[in-house]
Structure 1
């Protein structure tokens, strides 16, 4: 039972020692990506923000336990410094820069000079500011695994080569880091200034309105006005933060000028908090050891919460980049390889064309494409355009009988029949009088009579009857005349001689029957015109599909091979543009980075219950367990050596 408890207590430390270096490795990997490729892959980290000379650099140096950052009266941090603290068991300490792989800096003064040189390289040597990161990894047995970002301090008055909007630029740069939910905000504020006017807390509230991922750091507690203290600040009575506050005592400028070590400053800090009654009972939120432990614990939990989602995003981006990389294909130099690649391109193009026409490719949900668009053009645009064109040409609806008079139709009817008479003859080939749209039979007769015959009145009937009587009388008179003429040969010969000759142009007489036949023919012509027009509307799309679309589908591949598959054209056709070459190289590099990040994540077991086991983050105001060697009443560790300035011993809190 005791063994299992010991294992449970040791489990978090073991996993914690693995999870933060894992994120450090991922940060080094993803740092090689540009802004667009790295979007959405923000890793958990701690960003230190604050006003100029608020003590940010002193906080970082206190966490490392060494003096390694450029210092001065003006702005010192002019480029974001990503600081990765890696705890190891070896007694030696050294630093490594990402821009100088394989090179170890054992002299921390040399690390300071390298930071200054890299800063001047990008931002100039006259107080300029740059957004490009400097990545430094420090290996030491006296640190906890933490990743921090030291951002430029907020300044309001431009100096040197700084632009007039330097404050706005620095604020924008800071927001680019702290706006992401994966970032823990370390808001550094000096104790000798009003906390309500803190630039760091103001920016932190913009990025983290509920204060759930902001840690407040109150620096310079030793230089507050006499009779005042920061107890209310540290207890969160002024501006509450869910992760609480930590109070620190920084090295003074005099300490820096006289090269007093960070170790001496830490010893003085512990003495300060142990001797002032105002800070008794606040051991959980005072001193660099508490800040280091707090950051390590919070960052560890934050990482375990963020890693599963990060793994999903990396996998999704890896699939997308791999797909784009496959679309670009590999570069081919030989003529044979270029020929094979060209044939594959032509084949895929023809297959894509056929699939698009047949509607088998990817279906679009917002617009018609391929064969569906062709069908829409035929059924909607072509038919409407044909009607509009006819209306435009004739300025009205087309009448197929407009240029033919009724007399022309009547004459044609009588002439076409010869001695027998006929009304309507088919054309030379064939008129389908059985067509369902063709008007014929009794229907056309009824329509024609309805149009031709007026309603008969009594007057018309009497007139018609009178005509019939006159005709009868005339007929009877003729019979009488004939009989009389028949009685005398001379009178008969005289009658024949007196006949009038027919006119040269004989026009048919119009009767009621003739008018009906003319109306019938006009109706049949109009009906057949509509049938012919519909046939043309149907035939043109068929002709286009057969002679253009289907023909193109069948012969496109052979045509492209005949025209393009030539040895003298291979180099020209297969030559890639500069944009494609650059994009291919960029995709290749991005793919390699994402694959490396994927492999790194695959090596880590995502077992959150083991990671969080043994920590009760809700059991304390700050969410931290007690640090051994620092009780509520003050420190009880014994220092092995002490500087002459202070009558205290060296702290052992960095060897945890």
Structure 2
């Protein structure tokens, strides 16, 4: 087992694994990210920490790719690039040249930025274990052939690294610049507002104006950071030109701090040597604190990758196991299809919604087709969508049917008169009722067939969705399977539509006027007679009371006048005859003015046949007698009552028929149909031909899985 002192090398090993495998996602490894603007002294800080003059130099942006630098305390001194496996470099000039060459290879000849990192290991006996990531310097104004959006490119790359919650941000700021204008600190504050993982570095302390110092900043009084600030003295340009050694520069830095009146009291916590030690301890503590989260993330990635690899087919297959594989794919597809209908799949989201039919943005059901799918406000699927079609769309469509609004009183009168032939009708002819109700029943066919079509389309969508999940690996298999299923659904659509048509036609085949929910003409007349008899009895009692003192033998002629209320049909009768629907506008209120208020109800059918002009519009004037008007009103009531009886039957029977003949039949037949038509040995090669993209993706996943497992194994070595 590995102790805590070796945590940095452990993380470095995992970082090498991740960088070397492009298929791996980010593990958010603990590391030190160096951020600074151009000319802030960032490169000088890194070289002082590495104690080697190895970075390319020049004008503009020199660092155009992230440079992951791993410092390893080792007996032997050499450099090693991850992309040059097994090759050891000993010359800093060779290292500098390789960085430039590798940058050019990936980032191109222009001054653009690349996110692909370069990994460099530095082995030496005078180094502390440390991992640094050098990022391009932030610049605001493009210079020379730099891209116009160079500021955005550099900031995006910086944010990509410092947003990692496990990183330590090394924010480089020149001491001769106002701290509030520090580009690195401003960027760090965005992702680390409380300054918990930001370590500030003040460079160029020897270049501050005479008589000034940075003591307030270094002590945390000006700009507080939890990790504080460390001040250093950079190598000057003349030092670089004259090739002054880094060890001499570090010694000069020590003398500067020890002799400076403002800094000598804190010299022990200033300088490059202290910065390296501080970073090593911070990184070690950071790794120790983040280790449980890192273990959990790696284990989670192992599980996720295994599941995805299994979905794409983790194992290859040969001629001996092709048959079982074909059968397994079909059985899994059938099971997923049925589960989608039953609502037992993991991603089934059965929610209740309501469509506002009056909303102009809601599509008309008659316009819905495969090219114009039902647009529910919530994303429903499978059985939940079918239920919504039945309970919301179909029911609303039936409720919207108002056929009597297109049936004028003149239409009804003509039908009644034609049914009576040359004779005067004694009552509303039943033949006229049959003639008028049958076309109205036929109106139920359109919404019923539309309901069938919508359910068919939903089943087709479910099949495609299941195929997308189960058959991404085998495109030819997917095509064949969907072809079989489409043929099955098409045949079920045809048979179901035929049955639904018969279901509606059956309602016209026999008009059951004895239906318990049908208000018959006899019921209306009986109710009217009872009302009139009640009124007559009340009137007789009133007359008897008024003539109590008249001699029974008197020959006097007494004129008996009924109360005012008896001169018109009773209120209850009028309420019964009053229509709850809206007849056609040309006759909706025409009958009422033509009804003689001095006659009783039965006289409208059996009494005198005087007629009065109706209140029809001028272009549809017609003479309708009181008797005709009452017959029309009665016919309207009878038609409405029977139409409601049929509506209830259709509303109940259509969903049941669709479920039986289409949905449940599809569930029952899908498995056997697939096996019958596709489980043929001469089709196996075609069905099991894999998509090249899937093969490539599976190979990448397999490689990533091995990397994650290795990382998990490395982490398990830590106590």
- Counterpart of 2:15? 27
Residue 58 of structure 1 corresponds to 44
Q: Within 5 Å, which residues of 2 pair with 1:388-427?
A: 388=400, 391=403, 394=406, 403-404=415-416, 407=420
Of 79, 93, 96 in structure 2, the residue corresponding to residue 109 of structure 1 is: 93
Larger Rg: 1
Partner of 1:590: 704
1:290: Cα distance to partner? Answer: 0.8
Give me the whole-angstrom Cα distance separating, in 2, the residues matched to 1:251 and 1:428.
104
- Where do 5+ consecutive residues of structure 2 fail to align? 352-377, 431-507, 544-557, 561-604, 608-626
How many residues get paired? Answer: 532
Structure 1 position 282, deviation (Å): 0.8
- Classify the secondary structure of the residue corresponding to 2:265: coil
> What is the match of residue 256 of structure 1?
240
Q: Which of 367, 370, 373 pairs up with 2:385?
A: 373
How far the C-alpha of 1:285 sits from its partner, in A, is 2.0
Aligned equivalent of 2:363: none
Among 204, 217, 238, the alignment partner of 2:188 is: 204
Match of 2:482 in 1: none
Verify: 1:97 aligned to 2:177, yes or no.
no
Matches of 1:402 and 1:33 in 2, distance apart?
Answer: 87
Q: CA, structure 1 residues 113+247, in 2 after alignment: closer, same or farther (shift >3 Å)?
A: same
Question: What is the CA distance between 1:270 and its match in structure 2?
Answer: 2.2
Q: Deviations over 1:43-93 (max 9, x none)?
A: 2211112232332222222222222222345543232111111224xx212
The aligned counterpart of 1:300 is 284
1:542-557 alignment, distance < 5 Å: 542-557=656-671
Mapping of 1:490-505 within 5 angstroms? Answer: none
Deviation digits for residues 245-266 of structure 1 (CA, Å, limit 9, x no counterpart)? 2222223333323333222222
- How many Å separate the matches in 2 of 1:533 and 1:159? 79
Question: Is 1:573 aligned to residue 680 of structure 2?
Answer: no
2:164 aligned with 1:180? yes
Kept in 1, the 8 Å contact 2:38–2:139? The answer is yes
Q: Tell me the SS of whatever aligns to 1:143.
A: coil
Q: How is 1:266-345 mapped onto 2 (pairs within 5 angstroms)?
A: 266-330=250-314, 332=316, 334=318, 337-345=321-329
Indicate how the Cα distance of structure 1 residues 198 and 542 shifts in structure 2: closer, same or farther if over 3 A, else same: closer
The partner residue of 2:73 within 87, 112, 121 is 87
Q: 1:190 aligned to 174, 196, 206, which one?
A: 174
CA distance in 2, matches of 1:246, 1:148: 16
Assess if the C-alpha contact under 8 Å between 1:66 and 1:263 holds in 2.
no
2:426–2:606 CA contact under 8 A, matched in 1: no
Alpha carbons of structure 1 residues 16 and 93: separation in structure 2 relative to 1, 3 Å? farther
Counterpart of 1:603?
717
1:104 Cα deviation after fit: 2.4
CA distance in 2, matches of 1:25, 1:222: 38
Query: Is the CA contact 2:56–2:99 (under 8 Å) kept in the aligned structure 1?
Result: yes
Take 2:43 and 2:691, find their aligned partners in 1: how far apart are those partners? Answer: 48
TM-score (norm 1): 0.69
Question: Partners in 2 of 1:186 and 1:345 — Cα distance?
Answer: 54
Determine if the alignment matches structure 1 residue 359 to structure 2 residue 343: yes
Q: Check whether the contact 2:138–2:151 (CA below 8 A) recurs between aligned residues.
A: yes
Whether contact under 8 Å (1:400, 1:525) holds in the other structure is: no
8 Å contact kept, 1:234–1:285: no
- What is the 5 A alignment of 1:162-177? 162-177=146-161
User: Cα 1:550–1:278, aligned 2, differ >3 Å: closer, same or farther?
Assistant: closer
CA contact (8 A) 1:354 1:553 kept: yes
Using the TM superposition, give the Cα deviation of residue 347 of structure 1 relative to its aligned residue in structure 2, in angstroms.
Answer: 1.0
**1:506-525: CA deviations, max 9, x gaps?**
xxxx869xx9xx99999888
Confirm or deny: 8 A CA contact 2:416 2:428 kept in the other structure. Answer: no
Distance 1:524 1:85, change over 3 A: same
Counterpart for residue 38 of structure 1: 25
- Compared CA separation, residues 536 and 128, structure 1 to 2 (3 A): closer
Tell me by how many angstroms 1:148 deviates. 0.9
2:637 & 2:208 partners in 1: Cα distance?
110
Alpha carbons of structure 1 residues 298 and 407: separation in structure 2 relative to 1, 3 Å: same
Of residues 441, 444, 447 in structure 1, which corresponds to 2:527? 447
Q: Higher RCO, 1 or 2 (CA under 8 Å, sep at least 6)? A: 1
1:78 is the counterpart of 2:69: no
Q: Does 1:541 align with 2:655?
A: yes
TM-score for the superposition, normalised by structure 2: 0.64
The corresponding residue for 2:565 is: none
Q: Does 1:130 align with 2:114?
A: yes
- 1:216 is aligned to 200
* Partner-residue secondary structure (3-state), 1:217: strand
Partner of 2:672: 558
- Distance verdict in 2 for CA 1:111–1:335, change over 3 Å: same
Maintained 8 Å contact 1:328/1:584:
yes
Query: Counterparts of 2:173 and 2:634 in 1: how far apart (Å)?
Result: 104
Unaligned runs of 5+ in 1: 1-10, 417-426, 464-509, 606-656
Taking a change above 3 Å as real, the CA distance of residues 437 and 100 of structure 1, as seen in their structure-2 partners, is same
- 1:133-158 Cα offsets, whole Å, 9 max, x none, are 11112222221121111112233443
Q: Secondary structure at the match of 1:154?
A: coil
Counterpart of 1:492?
Answer: none
